[in-house]
Each structure stands twice: as C-alpha cells, then as structure tokens.
C-alpha cells in the first residue's frame, strides 16, 4: 500500500533581505558591535545564501529582549504562516480543512502548548475529531520524517486524508551574546518559512484517479517506503542547548564526515531492500543543510551537483529553513522540474541525533 502526495506548498514571510543586509544588522545591532564585520562576512559568504525571509523587520530583532518575547512572536507568526500553508495546500488538492483526518506538525524553533497545529485547527476550521501528532525536536530531519509518519498513519487508515505542517522561524532563535563559530554560521545560514503536505491513503478516491496530476499540472507522487537512521556517538553534532536566553545552536564541524561515513551505505541498503540501486533513482529531494553537507552528500552518493540543483537553488534563494526546507525543495521539484513518469525519487534529510530519514518516492505513470 502506498500513500499519494496530492499537494505541497511552501510559504515565506513578507520580509526579504539580501545576505549583506542581514550581515550588517547582525554585526551592528544584534551583536552590538562586538564582532569583526569582516569575519562575519566571511562566514556568511561561505554558506552560499544570497537572500532570506524573516518574520520581523530587521530593526525589530534587537527589541525582542528575551526568550519569552521571542517565543510569543514565534507563536503569533507561526500560527499565521502554518495555517496559510495548510489552507493553500488543501486548496491545491481540491480539499477543505473539514476533510482532514490527521494533522502532523513539526517545529524546533519555538515552544507552544497547546502546540501550533491545535491553534491552527480552530483558526482554519479543522474538525474537532482531527487526530493531531506534534513532532518537536527532530530539527532539520522532520520534514522528511513527517512525510514518513504520514505514510505510517495512512497505512492504518487507507481511505483517510493526512496533512503535514512545518513551521520554522529560525531568526527568532538567534543568540545575541553568542560569538561561537556555530552561531556565526547559523546567523548566515538559517531563514524562516513554513510548508504543508496533503496526502491520501491508497483507498481514497483521489489516490485512485487515473490522472495523477493536480489541476495545476503538478505531479502527485507516491510514497513507497521510508527508513529512519540514528547514528552512534553523534549526539553533540547538531541541536540546541537550552538556557536563559533560549536556544543556543549546536552545530559541529564533524557533520560532513558523518554524512560520508554513514549516509551513502544507508541509501544503498535502503534501495536494495526494494530491489533498486542508485542507478534506478531519477530524482532527489534533499534538505539544503549547507554547502559542505551537500558536497559530502554528492561525494558519498556518487552524484553530480546537477542532481541536487533544486536544493542548491533553494539554499541560495531562501537559506536553510530547518524542517520546512526539504518540503520547499519537494514543492519546487514537482512544480518546476517534474520527474519522468514512473521514475523513482529519494527524499533525504538529516537532523539532531545525529540522524537521517530516507523516503522512497515514485512519480505516477509508466517510465518509458
């Protein structure tokens, strides 16, 4: 039994800035002149990001003050962006909020109890009996893991509609007093955004449609299988340290080496379990973790830069949106670089743990 992805929509905040503007704001205002601007510029230039979207005008970040005010801003903006992504994705699929049976939410950039999807539910009109599953703490891997969890849920309810909502407002986690290399890299790499995926089980009428393209002409792929991997002795590779100022980033330089050590073998083993090899993959949907991570992936997977062209372009245009990024890459792939009919694709993301999630996809139709 396979799940059908009906639509994927990414949304971005209205405030968009060039990297140079963000660098200037970070060094002059947020870091209060304590950092050498030339050093920050070098870190920001090396992450290959040209523009990013953030939820607040740059001049407002210095006025946030403490973690509580930043988290309040996260809830306000997160509910608006997440709700918009879900409504847009449902509209693309020809469904309404009342049709949704399951909603999975993911975030790692703020705390909300009740969680974001519960606040979105009332705002957009989800049913009172909608089943909710918040995923907190998975970080960048959660976009791919969330798609995999939709697949798990729909195996038990093959006639149901399930939605994944990702909301990541990374700019609100930036630490003003942290001059570590990890924080300097993060201040140049991460942006804000949200995304939503609408999927149905194999017994839903929209999964059985002979025409598996959306009304907008977008491909509606199947999710065939997934695999989760948690790597040994890597807990401090990526994550947060939580302190009085909120989330302090943990981002170790060992990540590309971990990718080279584990991910290629995991991908080949995953594919072999489904009678495939890497030569059978026609397209990739990869999280834009950063230039060094993408280069390590290309090396270990034995692929060229063009195979990850959509990912590299997403990194350049909007930066790393944590869990929402791989969903933006999926949306861009289906809309602008549609895979060949019947071809297999691989969704791949990595996150705190250190861990990875692999999702096997197939475009509808027969490969010719």
Instruction: Look at residue 246 and tell me whether its pLDDT is greater than 70.
Output: yes
As a dihedral over the C-alpha atoms of residue 321, residue 323, residue 325, residue 331, rounded to 10 degrees, the angle is: -140
Average pLDDT score over residue span 96-109: 97
Residues in a beta bridge with 126: none
Residue in 334, 102, 78 with CA at minimum distance from that of residue 218: 334
Residues in a beta bridge with 187: none
Residue 50: CA count within 13 A, CB half-sphere? 5
Q: Which of these ranges, 84-93, 147-156, 175-184, 320-329, has the smallest mean pLDDT?
A: 175-184
Residue in 227, 202, 226, 228 with CA at minimum distance from that of residue 364: 202
Average pLDDT score over residue span 206-223: 72
Confidence band (pLDDT; 50, 70, 90) for 368? very low
Q: Around Cβ 241, how many Cβ atoms within 10 Å?
A: 12
Q: What is the per-residue pLDDT across 302-311, written as a single tens digit (0 to 9) for each?
A: 999 999 999 9
Residues in a beta bridge with 106: 135, 166
CA distance 125 to 104: 16
Which tokens in the block code for residue 208?
């059985």
Residue in 244, 226, 354 with CA at minimum distance from that of residue 296: 354
DSSP 8-state code for residue 219: B
Phi and psi angles of residue 310, each rounded to the nearest 5 degrees, phi first? -65, -40
Q: What is the per-residue pLDDT across 16-33, written as a single tens digit (0 to 9) for each?
A: 999 999 998 888 776 566
Q: What is the per-residue pLDDT across 48-61, written as a single tens digit (0 to 9) for each?
A: 999 999 999 999 99
Which tokens in the block code for residue 181?
């290399």
CA distance 194 to 66: 23
Residue in 36, 50, 120 with CA at minimum distance from that of residue 319: 50
**Domains located in the chain, CATH noted:** 3-200 (3.40.47.10), 222-362 (3.40.47.10)
Q: What is the pTM of this model?
A: 0.95
Q: What is the per-residue pLDDT across 229-242, written as a single tens digit (0 to 9) for each?
A: 999 999 898 888 88
Are the C-beta atoms of 243 and 193 separated by less than 8 Å? no
Planar angle of CA 10, 14, 17, nearest 5 degrees: 105
Q: How confident is the model at residue 216, as a pLDDT?
A: 57
Three-state DSSP class for residue 267: helix
Q: What is the per-residue pLDDT across 146-194, written as a single tens digit (0 to 9) for each?
A: 999 999 999 999 999 999 999 999 999 988 778 888 888 899 999 999 9
Beta-sheet pairing, 192-200 with 238-243: unpaired
Q: How confident is the model at residue 35, as a pLDDT?
A: 72
Instruction: Look at residue 332 and tell me whether its pLDDT is greater than 90.
Output: yes
Average pLDDT score over residue span 203-227: 78
CA distance 295 to 259: 10
Find where tokens 């973790």 sit. 289
Q: Longest C-alpha distance within the chain, in Å?
A: 61
Average pLDDT score over residue span 137-147: 96
Q: How confident is the model at residue 32, as a pLDDT?
A: 65
Are the C-beta atoms of 76 and 122 separated by less than 8 Å? no
Q: Catalytic residue positions?
A: 140
Residue 363: CA count within 13 A, CB half-sphere? 26
Percent of the chain with pLDDT over 70: 95
Residue 63, classified by CB atoms within 10 Å of its CB into exposed (0-12), middle (13-18) or buried (19+), is exposed
Q: How confident is the model at residue 209, as a pLDDT?
A: 56
């Amino acid at each position: 039994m396979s799940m059908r992805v009906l639509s994927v929509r990414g949304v971005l905040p209205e405030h968009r800035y060039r990297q140079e503007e963000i660098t200037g704001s970070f060094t002059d205002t947020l870091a209060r002149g304590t950092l050498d601007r030339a050093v920050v510029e070098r870190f920001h230039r090396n992450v290959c990001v040209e523009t990013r979207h953030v939820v607040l005008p740059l001049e407002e970040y210095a006025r946030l003050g403490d973690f509580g005010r930043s988290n309040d801003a996260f809830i306000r903006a997160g509910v608006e962006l997440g709700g918009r992504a879900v409504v847009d994705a449902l509209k693309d699929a020809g469904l309404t909020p009342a049709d949704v049976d399951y909603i999975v939410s993911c975030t790692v950039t703020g705390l909300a109890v009740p969680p974001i999807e519960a606040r979105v539910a009332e705002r957009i009109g989800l049913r009172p009996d909608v089943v909710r599953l918040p995923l907190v703490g998975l970080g960048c891997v959660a976009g791919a893991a969330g798609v995999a969890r939709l697949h798990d849920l729909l195996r038990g309810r093959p006639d149901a509609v399930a939605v994944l909502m990702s909301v990541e407002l990374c700019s609100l986690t930036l630490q003003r007093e942290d001059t570590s290399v990890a924080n300097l890299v993060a201040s140049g790499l991460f942006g804000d955004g949200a995304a939503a995926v609408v999927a149905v089980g194999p017994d839903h009428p929209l999964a059985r449609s002979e025409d598996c393209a959306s009304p907008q002409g977008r491909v509606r792929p199947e999710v065939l299988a997934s695999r989760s991997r948690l790597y040994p002795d890597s807990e401090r590779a990526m994550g947060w340290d939580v302190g009085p100022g909120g989330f302090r980033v943990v981002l170790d330089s060992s990540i590309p080496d971990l990718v080279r050590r584990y991910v290629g073998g995991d991908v080949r083993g995953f594919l072999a379990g489904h009678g495939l090899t890497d030569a059978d993959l026609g397209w990739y949907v990869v999280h834009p973790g950063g230039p060094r991570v993408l280069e390590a992936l290309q090396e270990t997977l034995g692929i060229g830069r063009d195979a990850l062209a959509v990912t590299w372009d997403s990194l350049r245009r909007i930066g790393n949106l944590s869990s929402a990024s791989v969903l933006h890459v999926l949306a861009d792939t289906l809309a602008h670089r549609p895979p060949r009919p019947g071809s297999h694709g691989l969704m791949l993301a990595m996150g705190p743990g250190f861990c990875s999630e692999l999702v096997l996809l197939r475009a509808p139709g027969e490969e010719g």
